[in-house]
Amino acid sequence: MARKRMTPEMMALVAQRFRALAEPARLQMMQVLRGGEQTVGELVEATGLATANVSKHLQLLHGAGFVTRRKEGLYVYYGIAGEDVFRLCDIMCGRLAQESATRRKVLAGR
């Protein structure tokens, strides 16, 4: 499954999703959200980013389906939509770790 030819439209969508994660600020926010739902204001405080900026990143992440949105009175709570996001990050981290290990080996003379 998902093994056969991908249509250009599908590929564009996949690329768009990867792009949503291709930003340190958004990864940082996702990491904060890993601790549980947060309001925009809490995310602002946790990340040190400007409010409007956080809001914009959240909309992008929500549009890409990576975060959930729940309005409660005056506050809007955002949360992680599906744990597989972290599988993505873990694979990337694994690749990086493997690379730096190889690099160390090379530097060590073989």
Partner DNA sequence: GCATTATTCTACTAATTAGTTGAATAGTTG
Partner DNA sequence: CAACTATTCAACTAATTAGTAGAATAATGC
Q: What share of the chain is helix, strand, coil (3-state, %, to 5)?
A: 60, 15, 25
Interaction residues for DNA, span 63-82 (CB under 7 A) = 69, 71, 73-76
Q: How far apart are CA 39 and CA 84, in angstroms?
A: 22
Torsion of CA 9, 20, 78, 47, to 10 degrees: -170
Q: How many residues bind DNA (CB under 7 A)?
A: 24
Cβ 62 to its own copies shortest distance, Å: 12
The DSSP bridge pattern shows strands 38-39 and 67-72 to be: unpaired
Which one of 5-13, 19-27, 83-91, 102-110 is the stretch in contact with DNA (CB under 7 A)?
19-27
Q: Which residues bind its own copies (CB under 8 A)?
A: 2, 5-6, 8, 10-19, 21-24, 26-28, 31, 65, 82, 84, 87-97, 99
Which spans of this chain sit near DNA (rule: CB under 7 A)? 19, 23, 25, 39-41, 44, 49-53, 55-60, 69, 71, 73-76
